[in-house]
Structure 1
């Protein structure tokens, strides 16, 4: 298990293999972080962050919004993709080119040169927020990878296997890190442990996560 950094270490770069078809690209998004944050702000100005309800009636600790051709939503009806923001009644904001370009470039570096995302889920974590172990399986097919970009506070990423009780490894995700997984690991269980308290120089007391998918 990798320990989270204290905040004083220099940014890391490089490529780490997490599993078959899964890689961690250290610092890959750092040269573009300001453009990514500005793009997220523009999306949230149209479709604000909100804490969705699970089908069982619980409120998610992670706040979320979306951009692209559809958005992932959760409510009493279940988990699904919807073409319109249920809070505004309007289509989700178009995916900014800064986001799309970064996702496609990271996918290529991860071994998936033909990835062209049509949706981007944007999660906002405050200290204490978490994402339980789950599989990304609401997409129409699973031949395309997942690209996940971390910004802001560091997080402890759990990456397991196809079964929920498979062994889990933890990886420290820092500002600018990108995880790409697909192929044999596309349906691996993954999650985020409760975010620890801290302050990031760019984003303050939050972590932002961009998850790019081909959903439709």
Structure 2
């Protein structure tokens, strides 16, 4: 007997494995004590995940995201279609502002105040993520920065994974409903066929049963 494998459970398992791999790669790529490198690479990872999230959520993303679409515009789109809350959008905007500070402010240096401003914007589930990570983190500047970047990246991946799981669950439910509807239709067709092909009454029920089974078998073969 073949063991039943829940498709949602299997897909979720794959998504969790991918999540762990991506976070591991993120931490590997943000090693070292170069603050600018951590900011730039962290922002790059976050924007890449945002791009993927939009591709998953939008029916035809290429129709909306054309040419050079800036990071802030992508956040606006994500918030507008409901995959990113307004509170989360504000927090992710601050990551963009931090990156732009290095790009546009000569001599900019990261300070504790910048990280306080960023982490204090966290709300809801994002704050929970940060609080859980923060308990395990050293409190020097570079460690705090890496923690914040890792939290925001993993949180965005979590949202995308959650969205994909919900979307897939709905698809399977719809498929199951359509199969149920199809089964009802087939039963109705079968009953109509029997009414036309079989006498209303018979002294030989076994013969009627055999004819009925033969009709069903023929129908199944045509379906295959």
TM over 0.5: no
TM tier, shorter chain?
A: under 0.3
Larger helix proportion, structure 1 or 2? 2
**TM-score normalised per structure 2:** 0.22
Larger strand proportion, structure 1 or 2? 1
**TM-score normalised per structure 1:** 0.23
